[in-house]
Amino acid sequence: MNALISYLKHVREEFTHIVWPSRRTAIAHTFVVIFIAAAIAILVGLLDYGFGLVVNHIILGN
C-alpha cells in the first residue's frame, strides 16, 4: 500500500512539470486533427468507391 501512495505522490509531482497548452492552441490543434481525419476519411471513401467500380467492371464485364 505504501508503494501505491508513493507512486501517486510522484505522479502528482510530475504533473506540476507539465506545460499545458493555452485554450486557443488546444482548440486550433483540435480543429487541425478533425480536418486531417475528415480529409483522410474522404480520401479512403473515394478510393473504396473507385476500386469498387473497377472490381464490378472486372466481375460483371460492363
Q: Does the pLDDT of residue 37 top 90, yes or no?
A: yes
Q: Does the pLDDT of residue 62 top 70, yes or no?
A: no
What is the per-residue pLDDT across 9-29, written as a single tens digit (0 to 9) for each? 999 999 999 999 999 999 999
Residue 61 maps to a domain: yes
Number of neighbours of residue 21 by Cβ within 10 angstroms:
10
Residue 6 maps to a domain: no
Residue 1 maps to a domain: no
Residue 7 maps to a domain: no
Range of the domain at 38: 21-62
Residue 15 maps to a domain: no
Q: What is the pTM of this model?
A: 0.67
Residue 43 maps to a domain: yes
Residue 9 maps to a domain: no
Residue 4 maps to a domain: no
> In the chain, how many domains are there?
1
